[in-house]
């Protein structure tokens, strides 16, 4: 089946931390679309500027400041959207999900295996690797040569199927459903500029364990018998592969050194060329002279760090729907799909909770999260919990977090949701720590139970015990079968 790509821009002309509403329309009678391949594309530019050099380029990466867990790497781009609506001209509201950011982010750490999370396949690529730093950011960086690194825009892709249950539909016929509106309330205020190469990292760390030479150390320059300008320095450490090199052209460094006739000096200089020498060492040439030496003078104890940016911001250039239109003449007029309804509750900040909730008709699964503010994690983690459905206990004892019964309960729920439980770590990645460090994971937990399908509302009892006071935020997502 051939597909044609059609792009529809958002109604709004500008976006910012406060201008966070997005409305996009699929025109009536414009064809049949494969929603499962279609996505929202948010184009951004990461701005980092240095007061001393307007041409400086940084290894900028997109960062998501969740609020209480700013060092957590979002496991899905869907965190960009807080609430979402899918509205048809002829059928009315097809799907409306509140707090879809919490739903998708917390489910993702169970759905995606460790290799997926570790490799950072979404746009938030600032997580550190075992190499101490990562340069997989937005900008075009050159580790060798004289071609200048440059700032470039970056796309954030949010698949419709990662937002809506209806997003899996492969034949959406606009002649039957009419003009279609996708409304999003986005978390643009949580976007920021990050990066793992800073004024502190990785300069004082050895390039390789057991081998002399750290990232910021450079060899003494040779004695300059005639005097003159010094533009180049050479690293003490050898780099086996280009990916290990923390330098790039147009990078602004602070160079510290001593000279035999004048004591300690510190200057800020921008790299114009990088040579990876045959012995693996790196030679940096700067756009302007590091120092003008007198005859017979030598530069010693040379070290470098990256000069910190004086300002940073995220510019949202445009938001559009990238829709995949099929060559089908028509699609079904009636579609069944799995959707979610959301109940939000604020409870007293206490170490235990015992409350009753009502789930809507046709609920298949109930998923409980304690977002703080998006990720389901508590300063005092939940230790045990229990469900009742219509006053009948779902288990014969309390369920302890990370127990066999807890994982069995999750597995039953995921099977009932039609999902694969691929990861039992129950943790987010911490991008402020090396990924082989003990504290490189941020623990989290969701609570879930299958629900017997009923045409009536189901009364759900929820008991939670934690090690200390809970944050007081409860989200209950009811997965249910819908038809439109």
Query: Between β-strands 311-326 and 3-9, what pairing exists: parallel, antiparallel or unpaired?
Result: antiparallel
Q: In this predicted model, what pLDDT tens digit does every residue of 256-298 receive, in sequence order?
A: 999 887 789 999 999 999 999 999 999 999 999 999 988 888 8
- Enter the pTM of the model: 0.91
Angstrom CA distances, 193 to 44, 128, 139, 244, 315, stand at: 11, 15, 12, 22, 10
Q: In this predicted model, what pLDDT tens digit does every residue of 25-74 receive, in sequence order?
A: 999 999 999 999 999 999 999 999 998 899 999 999 888 998 776 678 88
Q: How far apart are CA 316 and CA 313, in angstroms?
A: 10
Contacts of residue 363, Cβ cutoff 8 Å, sequence gap at least 6 = 451, 453, 454, 458, 478, 479, 480
Among 155, 71, 66, 65, which Cα is nearest to 102's? 66
What is the mean pLDDT, run by run of 10 residues, along the chain of 484 residues? 86 95 97 96 95 92 81 89 97 96 94 66 56 76 96 94 96 96 97 86 77 83 84 93 91 94 90 96 96 88 94 96 93 93 89 94 95 83 95 95 95 92 86 64 91 96 92 91 91
Q: How many CB atoms lie within 10 A of CB 368?
A: 23
Whether the ω angle into residue 373 lies within 30 degrees of 0, i.e. cis, is: yes
- Rounded to 5 degrees, what angle do the CA atoms 190, 127, 429 make? 80
Contacts of residue 441, Cβ cutoff 8 Å, sequence gap at least 6 = 425, 427, 428, 429, 430
Give the torsion through C-alpha atoms of 132, 137, 139, 142, to 10 deg.
Answer: 40
Among 41, 67, 117, 22, which Cα is nearest to 424's? 117
pLDDT at 23: 98
Contacts of residue 17, Cβ cutoff 8 Å, sequence gap at least 6 = 188, 189, 191
**DSSP string for 140-196:** B--SSBSPPPB---EEEEEEGGGT-SGGG-S-EEHHHH-SEEEEEEE-GGGEEEE-S
Helix (H) or strand (E) holding 126: none
Whether the ω angle into residue 365 lies within 30 degrees of 0, i.e. cis, is: no
Q: Are 435 and 429 in contact (CB under 8 A)?
A: yes
pLDDT at 127: 46
Contacts of residue 386, Cβ cutoff 8 Å, sequence gap at least 6 = 393, 394, 395, 397, 398, 399, 461, 462, 463
Cα end-to-end span (Å), the chain: 25
pLDDT at 402: 93
């Amino acid at each position: 089946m051939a597909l044609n790509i059609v792009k529809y821009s958002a109604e709004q002309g500008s976006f910012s931390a406060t201008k966070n509403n997005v409305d996009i329309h699929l025109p009536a009678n414009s064809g049949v679309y494969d929603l499962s391949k279609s996505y929202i594309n948010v184009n951004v530019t990461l701005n980092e500027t240095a007061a001393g050099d307007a041409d400086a380029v940084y290894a900028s990466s997109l960062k998501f400041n969740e609020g209480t867990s700013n060092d957590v790497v979002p496991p899905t781009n869907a965190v960009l959207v807080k609430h979402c609506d899918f509205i048809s001209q002829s059928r009315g509201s097809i799907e409306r999900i509140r707090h879809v950011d919490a739903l998708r982010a917390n489910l993702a750490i169970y759905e995606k295996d460790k290799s997926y999370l570790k490799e950072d396949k979404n746009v938030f690529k600032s997580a550190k690797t075992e190499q101490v730093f990562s340069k997989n950011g937005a900008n075009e960086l050159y580790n060798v040569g004289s071609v200048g690194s440059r700032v470039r825009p970056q796309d954030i892709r949010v698949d419709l199927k990662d937002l809506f249950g209806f997003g899996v539909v492969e034949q959406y016929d606009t002649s039957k459903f009419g003009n279609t509106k996708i409304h999003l309330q986005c978390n643009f205020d949580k976007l920021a500029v990050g990066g793992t190469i800073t004024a502190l990292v990785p300069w004082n760390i050895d390039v390789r364990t057991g081998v002399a030479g750290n990232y910021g150390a450079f060899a003494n320059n040779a004695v300059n018998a005639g005097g003159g300008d010094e533009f180049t320095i050479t690293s003490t450490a050898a780099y086996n592969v280009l990916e290990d090199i923390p330098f790039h052209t147009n990078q602004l460094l602070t160079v510290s050194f001593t000279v035999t006739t004048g004591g300690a000096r510190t200057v800020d200089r921008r790299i114009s060329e990088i040579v990876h020498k045959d012995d693996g060492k790196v030679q940096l040439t700067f756009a302007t002279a590091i120092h003008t030496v007198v005859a017979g003078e030598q530069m010693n104890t040379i070290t470098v760090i990256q000069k910190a940016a004086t300002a940073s911001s995220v510019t949202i250039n445009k938001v559009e729907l990238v829709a995949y239109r099929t060559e089908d003449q028509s699609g079904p007029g009636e579609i069944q799909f799995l959707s979610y309804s959301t109940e939000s509750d604020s409870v007293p900040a206490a170490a235990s909770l015992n409350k009753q909730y009502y789930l809507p008709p046709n609920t298949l699964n109930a998923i409980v999260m304690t977002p703080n503010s998006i990720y389901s994690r508590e300063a005092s983690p939940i230790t045990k919990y229990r469900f009742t459905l219509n006053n009948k206990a779902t288990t014969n004892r309390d369920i302890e977090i990370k127990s066999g019964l807890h994982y069995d309960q999750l597995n039953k729920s995921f099977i009932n949701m039609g999902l694969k439980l691929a990861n039992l770590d129950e943790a987010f990645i911490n991008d402020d720590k090396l990924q082989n460090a003990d504290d490189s994971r941020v623990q989290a937990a969701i609570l879930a139970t299958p629900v017997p399908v009923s045409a009536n509302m189901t009364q759900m009892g929820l008991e939670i015990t934690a090690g200390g006071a809970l944050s007081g935020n409860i989200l209950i997502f009811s997965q249910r079968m819908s038809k439109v």
